[in-house]
Amino acid sequence: MENLTNCDEGLPPAVCRACLFAKGAAPARRAGGEPLAARRPATQTRALGGLDAQEPAPQPLTTGGGEVWLLSGSAPGPWTDSRPAAATSGAMPVGGLLPLFSSPGGGGLGGGLGGGLGGGRKGSGPAAFRLTEKFVLLLVFSAFITLCFGAIFFLPDSSKLLSGVLFHSNPALQPPAEHKPGLGARAEDAAEGRVRHREEGVPGDPGAVLQDNLARIRENHERALREAKETLQKLPEEIQRDILLEKEKVAQDQLRDKDLFGGLPKVDFLPPIGVENREPADASIREKRAKIKEMMSHAWNNYKRYAWGLNELKPISKEGHSSSLFGNIKGATIVDALDTLFIMGMTTEFQEAKSWIKKYLDFNVNAEVSVFEVNIRFVGGLLSAYYLSGEEIFRKKAVELGVKLLPAFHTPSGIPWALLNMKSGIGRNWPWASGGSSILAEFGTLHLEFMHLSHLSGNPIFAEKVMNIRTVLNKLEKPEGLYPNYLNPSSGQWGQHHVSVGGLGDSFYEYLLKAWLMSDKTDLEAKKMYFDAVQAIETHLIRKSSGGLTYIAEWKGGLLEHKMGHLTCFAGGMFALGADGAPETLAQHYLELGAEIARTCHESYNRTFMKLGPEAFRFDGGVEAIATRQNEKYYILRPEVVETYMYMWRLTHDPKYRSWAWEAVEALEKHCRVGGGYSGLRDVYIANESYDNVQQSFFLAETLKYLYLIFSDDDLLPLEHWIFNTEAHPFPVLRELKEEVDVKEK
């Protein structure tokens, strides 16, 4: 054996044959068994001691088999310019041999590296990967990438990880809206915000931002691991005991809630204001209003003929349709349409609906329902029917259903579950919601109904439940003053930082404004929350397209998605309705903002073939107010655009809003009306109708009601006396004694 000190000149000591023998590797041989002659390595360009210098590069150490070795360590030599490893940028450390793969043919990772560094062969031979090894490595690499991305997307608050690590950008780069500042905005506030961004490292100190993001990732990882470990450490008996205890607690809460309602107190029914249905003086307006009433008759009569007692109608196949949103509760269309029938003077149909409710409307069902949908449609519809007609059956059923919904609030934070089993009282959230979170638009759209339930039942428990939601929200820090769409009911903390004034967020903001208005403008907390939120929305979400259209984008972890949903179009009416409560200098601004949103939403209708708006439309890729994805091109008889037309007509009396509303009526008649009722459309951009075969209950509750009100006089359900819930069910303003108002103001 050669002495270890007799290394070939020019070869790094760690790769000479003597070193190989010392490590137990046999000298390489040719196929015939003859030892290979020692050779000097090929040269390769190196910079700063790295692999780009003109220095010897290590070659494959074996050709016939045995172990393959990778250089490691930090011994000085021609590969490091005799400098310490810390000072050698990009250098490959040497001095030791680490076995990577052991393969019969000398291939694998070691062979591949050796061949690559020495300028070896690509296709075959000892320096190349075998096909099977390439395939295995590809599988391993793919699995690793999948695991990494899966961890990022499924960790709690994954949107912050994505925006912070993968797609970090500065929100300030988005072009600001060309609007006046919102309520309370000051120049010094904006300057203070810019300083704060600089101090946080955006964008001047990317290192600080990266460290912050890594710390957040580490914290989320550790929290998820702790929670998983705590669950795994429990014995099956303990888990079963916890489940039984939770069930027992829910059952006790249900009994307690029921005990609170031994019977309803007597209430003196006050005749409603503004329900006299006088004919408009203008003959053409009178004719148009009569047409809308005929549309209601067509929708109602076909529901009665083909789906009576079921939730909704399939107008093409002429049969009933029941959404899982209502569980086993029946009669959604009947309850949802009650007040529309009353307002339009369809007395016979109203009495038919009342009789069905008295005999068949049953909430004692063993099924899971959407708390949000049941509240706005059933509770809201029953409450408004009572306030319009004074029929006691509607008050009784509304309070009964309200009691059934109370177990949804039995969470650690008091933020209600999205889904509730009406029999067991067990709740849960939508599986797709961020980290088991509740949805802002769902738990934030209970306030109006629950305040009226307390008013009609004489019990404050309903009001206490929804006021607690405000308490939780006011304790939380809002990112940029915005309310994320997800809130975990167990921790009381935000989920993903997604913000939308459309789906998942919309009616929360609507109910802040309407809570203030419904309280006879005494709920000053709601007023402040609303105008603070609107200011943040203006700053971060409202933009103007190159074509001059104002739209409301969606905010995802600091990044804007330039998309606006049909649901978001309600906001035009909301801004206009709230203008009267803004400071005098901003009142006209909010009215104009409402008009701009109305114009944008009208354009989304006008730019389709059928003159009906898509589910969502975009402002990117060279398009404006047009749906670019197939799954956004449908129309399901939604009301939000005509809702904004109604508010804008009532508040401005600009005739264009009646003109735009009539365009919608003509489009509905031409494209959505069928022999069995009215159907939604799968694509509003094509000439031939493709029907979705569902007549939604909200078409009767909202779309037709708002259209009817546009062509009615303002004294029918005047806005100073009535507040519409998000399903267009009118509730009266809750007037307080003058003395109580004075005390609150002081």
Catalytic residues: 615
DSSP character for 92? Answer: P
Give the pairing type, strands 730-732 and 55-56.
unpaired
Task: Name residues whose C-beta falls within 8 Å of residue 640's C-beta, 6 or more positions apart in sequence.
Answer: 566, 567, 568, 569, 570, 601
Report the SS3 class of residue 44.
strand
DSSP character for 139? Answer: H
Report the SS3 class of residue 538.
helix
What value, to the nearest 5°, has the Cα angle with vertex 654 and ends 649 and 659? Answer: 80
Cα–Cα distance, 295 to 304 (Å, whole number): 14
* Strand segments (E) across 566-668: 616-618
Taking phi over 0 as left and psi of -120 to 50 as alpha, with beta for the rest, 425 belongs to left
Cα–Cα distance, 621 to 376 (Å, whole number): 37
Burial class of residue 179 in the structure, from the number of CB atoms within 10 Å of its CB (0-12 exposed, 13-18 middle, 19+ buried)? middle
Cα–Cα distance, 451 to 516 (Å, whole number): 12
| Residue-wise DSSP of 116-137 | HHTT--SSSSTTS--HHHHHHH
| Contact yes or no for 501/541 (Cβ under 8 A) | yes
CA distances (Å), origin 44, targets 58, 79, 87, 127, 632: 10, 11, 20, 17, 56
Burial class of residue 639 in the structure, from the number of CB atoms within 10 Å of its CB (0-12 exposed, 13-18 middle, 19+ buried)? buried
Cα–Cα distance, 397 to 576 (Å, whole number): 34
Cα–Cα distance, 553 to 61 (Å, whole number): 60
Closest CA to 354 of 391, 314, 396, 300: 391
| Residue-wise DSSP of 251-306 | HHHHHHHHHT-SSPPP--PPPPSS---PPPSSHHHHHHHHHHHHHHHHHHHHHHHH
Residue 561: other Cβ atoms inside 10 A: 14
Closest CA to 317 of 691, 668, 687, 684: 691
Cis peptide before 203 (omega within 30 of 0): yes
Give the pairing type, strands 368-370 and 419-421.
antiparallel
DSSP character for 567? Answer: G
| Contact yes or no for 35/29 (Cβ under 8 A) | yes
H or E element in which residue 69 lies: strand 67-72
The owner of tokens 């109580």 is 740
The owner of tokens 């735009």 is 660
CA distances (Å), origin 187, targets 164, 193, 194, 480: 28, 10, 11, 16
Cα–Cα distance, 333 to 185 (Å, whole number): 45
